[in-house]
Chain A
Amino acid sequence: MGNVKLTIRTTISFLLFICIYGFNFSVTAESSDRQAVNASTDSRHQVTFIRDSDDACTQCHKDSKETRQGTHGEKTALKLGRDLKCVECHNTVGPNHRENASQVTKYSAAQSQIGTHKTLLDFDAILKATDNCTECHTPERLQEKTWVHDVHAKKATCSSCHVIHADGEKEGMQALERKAQIAQCVDCHKDFNLNQEGKGD
């Protein structure tokens, strides 16, 4: 009996050894395989949202997403690490949005001095309107770009000079040559004079 026991024990230990040895091989083979796969198709496992949160907006505002690319497109996405969504600027979309869009934050041209064809807003309203823009485009950075930003901080909304939904390329002030930019100053400020003179008469 002793011999049989010994044989069984030896066989078991032999089998165990083979199992462990074999497993060892298979593990190394598998892990090296997986690494190779990971390296080649890294993006395969990145999770993206299937549902576009801007989908509801672009159903009606069809071109808005494309026209934004020129000004708040790839560069902005790179800096933020994500793409901008409609509601980040146009917030407070109300439940009655389709009937009456007054609740949505809009960015339109407005100024604090009476012009012939311009919307008039007071200082506080203008500051409130540019609040969202100045969060990223900080006053310091704006001043660095040009001093003109400083003197218009309370006097005109960003959209008075800039086109936020530009069609592909940059539009508005940034697309102009220096001379045409000066012409823009002249246009508005001459307008004030004419208006004041008209009042005096």
Chain B
Amino acid sequence: MACSRRNLLLGAGAVIFTTGVSKVAFGKKSLVATQEDGDKRYGMVFDETACIGCTACTDACRETNNVPEGVSRLTIERSAPMGEYPDVDYTFTRVSCQHCDNAPCVTVCPTGASYVDLKTGIVDVHSDKCVGCGYCLAACPYKVRFFHPETKSADKCNFCRDTNLKAGKLPACVESCPTKALTFGDLNDPTSEINKVIASNAVYRSKVELGTEPKLYKVADTKGEIKR
């Protein structure tokens, strides 16, 4: 037994030190926290009260990101008509990737093709790593993923990460909206416009009860049925 008191104390100290440090350094590193610590955490606000349903955003997205016909990264869903002539009204909502902090599509991906970019908080796909198993399509509670007919990879909105955002511009949908129904920005920056819009409007996020922590906020329309 070559275990002297000195060695035991040193060993115990070392154990306590390393576990303590690791707890401080890595303990908070859940997916959500990492992005909040990171440089940027991009999100979007869609104002249902401002949207006129013109679908200029859908077309702009298609052109900018070369999305072929038949599939789309972004659609505007129109409700059934409400009311009688001449007061018939509709509501519109945005259907696109919500860029979840806790994205189910990333969790289920067996190859690591689906990932959350830690620098921006954008959920994206490495098209060369995707094997087309379709798990992410099934796992997404918002049903916004599709297979790209040309690359055969899973595809979806990535806030124009490799097109407009790269060029220092706003995402194509935000730029094309005639009524300024879309606000894009950094949720980490307390002075950003997006945080002001969120603070000054009654916003909601879809299916928050699933714990996906989506970063697409919607300003609730007062017409029609209750949204959540």
Contacts and interface: CB of A to CB of B under 8 A. Distances in A.
Contact of B81 (A150, A182, A186, A192): A150
A189 interface: yes
B179 A147 contact: no
B90 interface: yes
Nearest to B81: A150
A147 B85 contact: no
A179 B54 CA distance: 10
Contact of B178 (A139, A151, A189): A189
B85 A139 contact: yes
A147 to B, nearest CB: 6
Interface in B72-90: 78, 81, 85-90
Given A143-B81, A150-B81, A193-B178, A186 B54 contact: yes
A153 B179 contact: no
A127 interface: yes
Contacts of A189: 52, 54, 178-179
A154 interface: yes
Interface in B153-212: 176, 178-180
A93 interface: no
A85 interface: no
B101 to A, nearest CB: 32
Contact of A185 (B89, B178, B180): B178
B59 interface: yes
B56 interface: yes
Size band of the interface chain A makes with B: 10 to 19
B102 interface: no
B89 A151 contact: yes
B54 A185 contact: yes
Nearest to A190: B178
Interface in A176-201: 179, 182-183, 185-187, 189-190, 192-193
Interface string A142-159: 010001001101100000
A143 B84 CA distance: 11
Given A143-B81, A147-B78, A153-B85, A182 B90 contact: no
B6 to A, nearest CB: 76
B54 A150 contact: no
Contacts of B86: 127, 139, 153-154
Interface string B36-53: 000000000000000011
Contacts of B55: 182
B56 A150 contact: no
Contacts of A153: 85-88
A153 B179 CA distance: 20
Contacts of B78: 147
A182 B55 CA distance: 7
Interface string A136-174: 000100010001001101100000000000000000000
> What 6 pairs across the A-B complex have the smallest Cβ distances?
A153-B86, A150-B88, A139-B85, A185-B54, A190-B178, A189-B178
Interface of B: 52-56, 59, 78, 81, 85-90, 176, 178-180
5 contacts: A150-B88, A151-B52, A154-B86, A189-B178, A190-B178
Given A127-B86, A151-B52, A153-B86, 7 more contacts: A147-B78, A150-B85, A179-B59, A183-B56, A185-B52, A189-B52, A189-B54
